[in-house]
Amino acid sequence: MIFYYWGKDYEASRRVARDEFLTHREKFSNATVFDLVGENLTLEELQEAVYARPLFGAGGIIFFDHLLVNPVATNFVSKNLSSLIENENVFIFWEDAEGEEFAQAVVKAGGTAREFKAMSDVKEQQKKADLMKLFAIADALGDRDRVLR
């Protein structure tokens, strides 16, 4: 099972990826857990995390943080996506960079990918303007309801 989260709204994508990680951790409390950072990941560590089978309990939950910055790890995962899907382990990938090509490969292999787009400045300004209008209306109505003594 593969889950891939990325996008410009890195706070939202990170929050959803971590929630997915915690959900699986609660569901499989005796599962082996790996939290790997792509910058420091070696091929041997990656192979161990991917192919390791626990002696007792369900499979493992492996969280990859910034895997795409490591070309060796990215190459290994890209070549073995079909075997990762069939694996009993849960793989969760999080990237804050653009990862459209990797997302397409994950979806093609049978995994789940979700992009988080940042809100544009125009939308944020529109929200602020709407809130200011709402405040002005509430303020005007509040003045009428006051009783002067």
Residues facing residue 60 across a β-bridge? 32
- pLDDT tens across 62-78, in order? 899 888 888 888 899 99
Confidence of residue 144 (pLDDT cuts 50, 70, 90): low
**Residue whose tokens read 């990680």:** 21
pLDDT of residue 108: 92
46 has a pLDDT exceeding 90: no
Confidence of residue 122 (pLDDT cuts 50, 70, 90): very low
pLDDT of residue 12: 85
Which 3 state secondary structure label does DSSP give 51? helix
